[in-house]
Amino acid sequence: MENSLFDLKGRTALVTGGGAGLGRKIAEVFAEYGADVAVCSRKVENCQETAESLQKEYGIKSKAYECNVGSEENVKKTVEAVIADFGKVDILVNNSGATWGENAESMPLEAWEKVMKVNVTGTFLMSKAVGNHMIENGYGKIINIGSVAGLKAEPPEVLNAIGYSTSKAAVHHFTRDLARKWAGYGLYVNAIAPGFFETKMTKHVIEQNADKIINKNPLKKLGDPRSLQGAALFLAGGASDYVTGQVIAVDGGASL
């Protein structure tokens, strides 16, 4: 695996929302391929359990941090702490996310603003803080987690969360625009747009609509964690050194 397209030895990754769900799966594959991994979220207990598990299973360095990605002050302190502990950040995964299910005509403003603050503002703040460090180093890989919901409009009976869908579309364009702005610094910015994977956030939707989602999917299945890990590993390592500004749908063809 050494010197392979996917080897991450000597790299340090920071994964937001890394204590559970897809964030944890991404943290795990980075550790599996040799990276040291910092994980952060508002619920630091989940991150602590993840960090301990990664260290034990893969023998890499891992540490947990509490971070509210919607707070610039909190983000700055977290990034400074990670750099102090690990020496650098080579890979950033903006995975922290929020959603709110509600009809568009009755969605409360505070719900809309909460989703935007975490999904869009949080992605910007973390990218800015880590990006400045990466620019100084002349290298960095930023991976934003979008969603197939930001690529197509789902019927309300499948997904009724207009704030979430809009925020993920914003993340996709943020990815493309930032990639263009930072390419000259040696930074790569890409996004993954997952389809329906079984996570805490999607549990209710899948429980209510699993058959409908699967039947409409060209591959006739829900997402499996290994597929998402493969996309993240590709974007984090040398295999993607000529790829930037892309939104890769990992959705079984649902966005076609």
Which are the catalytic amino acids? 164
Structural contact between residues 79 and 132, judged by C-beta atoms closer than 8 angstroms: no
Query: SS in 3 state form for 80-123?
Result: HHHHHHHCCCCEEEECCCCCCCECHHHCCHHHHHHHHHHHHHHH
Which regions of the chain does DSSP assign to beta strands (E)?
12-16, 36-41, 62-66, 91-94, 140-145, 187-194, 247-250
∠ at Cα 254 (250, 256), nearest 5°? 100
Distances (CA, A) of 61 to 12, 13, 41, 76, 80: 9, 10, 18, 21, 17
Structural contact between residues 95 and 127, judged by C-beta atoms closer than 8 angstroms: no
Going 7 to 89 to 119 to 53, the CA torsion angle's sign is positive
The tokens of 7 are what? 């080897």
Specify the length of the chain in residues.
Answer: 256
Dist. CA 212–CA 206, nearest whole Å:
9
